[in-house]
Amino acid sequence: MRLRAQHCAILFLFYTAGCARPEQTPETVVQQWQRYIDHNQFDSARLYSTELARSYVDFIDALTMGDSSEIYETRLYDLRCEIQGDSATCYFLIEGELGEKIPDTLVLHKEKGRWLVHQVEGFAMPPVDTLQPGDENLLFQGDSSDMEFQ
């Protein structure tokens, strides 16, 4: 009887060890977050976002106006993340409409042991009540290699 109890305990340990969720790296979080954005799964993307990044997700969600029919798969090229303490800066290239490679950056923070997207480079959300007609260009600031947005 005692041998059977030990056997069950060992099996339980193997079972729980096999079911343990592997620790996510900043790279895997960036890929998962982008996949959620691409598939208009904004509630899931918010789970991988800090409060600051949730404003970006909210903005993208509002742009789609509930239209989930268009799904675009963003390929992340040369994804690499530099970790410094509880912060990671992830650099990658995405493909533009004309096939050109465009550099992009996400900043992640580690909160309660989980990596979360914190900041989307080039996105600054001004208070909504201060936007005036024609101020849409204030939403995306910074250097852009795409002349359409300049």
Note the CATH number of domain 24-149.
Answer: 3.10.450.100
State pLDDT tens for residues 6-34. Answer: 444 443 433 434 444 567 999 999 999 99
What amino acid occupies position 145? Answer: S
Dihedral angle over CA of 79, 115, 122, 147, nearest 10 = 30
Judged by average pLDDT, the poorest of 20-29, 42-51, 96-105, 112-121 is 20-29
The widest CA-to-CA distance across the chain, in whole angstroms, is 78
Domain ranges of the chain: 24-149
Q: What is the pLDDT of residue 149?
A: 42
pTM beyond cutoff 0.75: no
CB burial string 18-53: b at 16+ within 10 A, e below: eeeeeebebbebbbbbbbbbeebebebbbebbbebb
